[in-house]
């Protein structure tokens, strides 16, 4: 008649690993929820010794840091996983990467520095947006017009209904370049609420100029992290790397089976 699940409570967390992963090609059409399911299954197939929550419906301990929107590609997504047994981060990275579909590629894995918070190290994103069939000049004019404004309001459906918000204040820097049959926008955007997404920036650009995008532009997040004094986006895993180097490798790391 017990309302507690039978058996012992789940084993404790012994290690936290921070991962950088990508959302490339067709996989950019996954939603955040899709990514979460894909990860959970890949972790099981790769037999990563995850730590689980307690209760009737135990879940693996996975902490997501933001997430690129559906349809948006990324080279710099981050997630933290908690393990019930220690693992070598690089071996874990290879096993998990082999188990994930092509396009979701785990590019870095580091052990989390104790007591630090990954979300606190993510403040802004560097975006690269390709605009097919747009000239560099047309884009440049739109960028100039945008940067000259103090406020560029756009409207979008959010969880809380249709909202109007400013996109200008969140933009740290913005520039235009050209490539074959497309213009390329590079923009650093601060993470604010409501989120200013790449398509909001484009809506803003269109609203201050006669920029037209005949083909849907393709956005890719190149980096996310803290903003440096120079307005650049720092690597959020750098402090963990420094920490693990400083700590040395005195502790023996067991080799994963298989």
Partner 1 sequence: MPVESLFPRLEKLLPQVSKPIQYVGGELNSQVKDWDEAPESEMVRWCLMYPDAYEVGLPNQGVMILYEVLNEQPNTIAERCYSVWPDLATLMRQHAIPAFSIDAHRPVKEFDVLGISFSTELGYTNMLEALDLAQIPLHAADRDATHPIVLAGGHAAFNPEPIAEFIDAAVLGDGEQAVLEMTDIIRRAKREGLTREQTLLELAKSGGVYVPRFYDVSYLADGRIQRVAPNHPDVPFRVRKRTVMDLDEWPYPKQPLVPLAETVHERMSVEIFRGCTRGCRFCQAGMITRPVRERSITGIGEMVEAGLAATGYEEVGLLSLSSADHSEIADIAKGLADRYEGTQTSLSLPSTRVDAFNIDLAQELSRGGRRSGLTFAPEGGSERLRKVINKMVSKDDLVATVTAAYGAGWRQVKLYFMCGLPTETDEDVLEIAEMARDVIRAGRQVTGTRDVKCTVSIGGFVPKAHTPFQWASQADPATIDRRLMLLKDAIRSDKSTAKAIGFRYHDGKPGAVEGLLSRGDRRIGRVIEEVWRQGGKFDGWSEHFSYDRWMTAAVATDIDVDWYTTRERGELEILPWDHLDSGLDKEWLWSDWQEALSEQDLDDCRWIPCFDCGVCPQLGTEIQVGPTGRKLLPLAIK
Distance CA 215, CA 176 (A): 18
Q: What is the total count of residues that contact partner 1 (CB under 8 A)?
A: 34
Answer yes or no whether residue 2 interacts with partner 1 by CB under 8 A: yes
Residue nearer to partner 1 on the CB measure, 103 or 194: 103
30 is an interface residue for partner 1 by CB under 8 A: yes
Cα–Cα distance between 79 and 77 in angstroms, integer? 7
> Does 216 sit near partner 1 (CB under 8 A)?
yes
Alpha carbon distance 166, 182 (integer Å): 27
Of 99-107, 116-124, 137-145, 173-181, which segment contacts partner 1 by CB under 8 A?
A: 99-107
CB of 31 to partner 1, least distance (A): 7
Which of 108, 55, 114, 43 is closest to 81 using CA atoms? 43
Q: Does 101 bind partner 1 (CB under 8 A)?
A: yes
Residue 187 CB, nearest distance to partner 1 (Å)?
Answer: 18
Determine, following the binding rule CB under 8 A, whether residue 27 of this chain makes contact with partner 1: yes
Interacting span for partner 1 (CB under 8 A) from 51-59, 113-121, 169-177, 229-237: 51-59
Q: How many whole angstroms separate alpha carbon 226 and alpha carbon 125? A: 9
Binds partner 1 by CB under 8 A, chosen from 41, 120, 137, 151: 41
Q: Closest approach of Cβ 33 to partner 1, in Å?
A: 6
Local structure of residue 155 (DSSP, 8 states): E
Check residue 231 for interaction with partner 1 (CB under 8 A): no
Q: 112: how many CB neighbours lie within 10 A of its CB?
A: 22
Report how far apart the first and last C-alpha atoms of the chain are (Å, whole number).
Answer: 40
Q: What b/e sequence results for 2-41 when a residue is b if at least 16 CB atoms lie within 10 Å of its CB, and e otherwise?
A: eeeeeeeebeeeebbbbbbbbbeeebbebeeeebeebbee
Q: Which of these ranges, 96-104, 144-152, 166-174, 175-183, lies near partner 1 under the rule CB under 8 A?
A: 96-104
Distances (CA, A) of 117 to 64, 109, 222: 12, 15, 21
* CA 26/CA 117 separation, integer angstroms: 31
Cβ proximity to partner 1, 192 vs 256, nearer residue: 256
User: Angle at CA 48, nearest 5°, toward 42 and 51?
Assistant: 110
Point out which span in 34-42, 154-162, 171-179, 235-243 binds partner 1 (CB under 8 A): 34-42
Instruction: Report the C-alpha gap between 189 and 169 in whole angstroms.
Output: 9
Is 34 one of the binding residues for partner 1 (CB under 8 A)? yes
* Contacting range for partner 1; rule: CB under 8 A; set: 53-61, 106-114, 133-141, 239-247: 53-61
Residues that bind partner 1 (CB under 8 A): 1-3, 5-7, 26-27, 29-31, 33-34, 37-38, 40-45, 52, 56-58, 60, 70-71, 99, 101-103, 215-216
């Amino acid at each position: 008649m017990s309302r507690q699940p039978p058996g012992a409570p789940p084993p404790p967390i012994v290690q936290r690993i921070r991962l950088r992963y990508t959302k490339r090609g067709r996989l950019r059409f996954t939603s955040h929820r899709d990514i979460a399911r894909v990860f959970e299954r890949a972790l099981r197939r790769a037999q990563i010794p995850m730590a689980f929550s307690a209760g009737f419906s135990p879940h693996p301990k996975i902490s997501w840091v933001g997430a690129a929107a559906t349809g948006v590609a990324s080279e710099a997504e981050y997630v933290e996983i908690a393990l019930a047994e220690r693992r070598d981060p690089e071996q874990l990275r290879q096993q998990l990467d082999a188990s994930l579909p092509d396009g979701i590629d785990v590019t870095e894995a580091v052990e989390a520095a104790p007591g630090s918070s990954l979300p606190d190290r993510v403040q802004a994103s560097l975006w690269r947006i390709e605009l097919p069939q747009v000239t560099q000049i047309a884009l440049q004019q739109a960028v100039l017009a945008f940067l000259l404004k103090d406020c560029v309001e756009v409207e979008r459906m959010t969880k809380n209904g249709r909202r109007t918000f400013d996109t200008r204040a969140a933009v740290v820097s913005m520039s235009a370049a050209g490539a074959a049959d497309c213009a390329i926008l590079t923009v650093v955007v601060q993470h604010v609420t409501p989120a200013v997404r790449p398509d909001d920036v484009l809506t803003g650009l269109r609203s201050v100029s006669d920029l037209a995008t005949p083909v849907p532009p393709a956005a890719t997040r190149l980096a996310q992290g803290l903003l440096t004094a120079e307005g650049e986006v720092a690597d959020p895993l750098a402090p963990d790397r420094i920490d693990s180097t400083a700590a040395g490798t005195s502790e023996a790391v067991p080799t994963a089976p298989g």
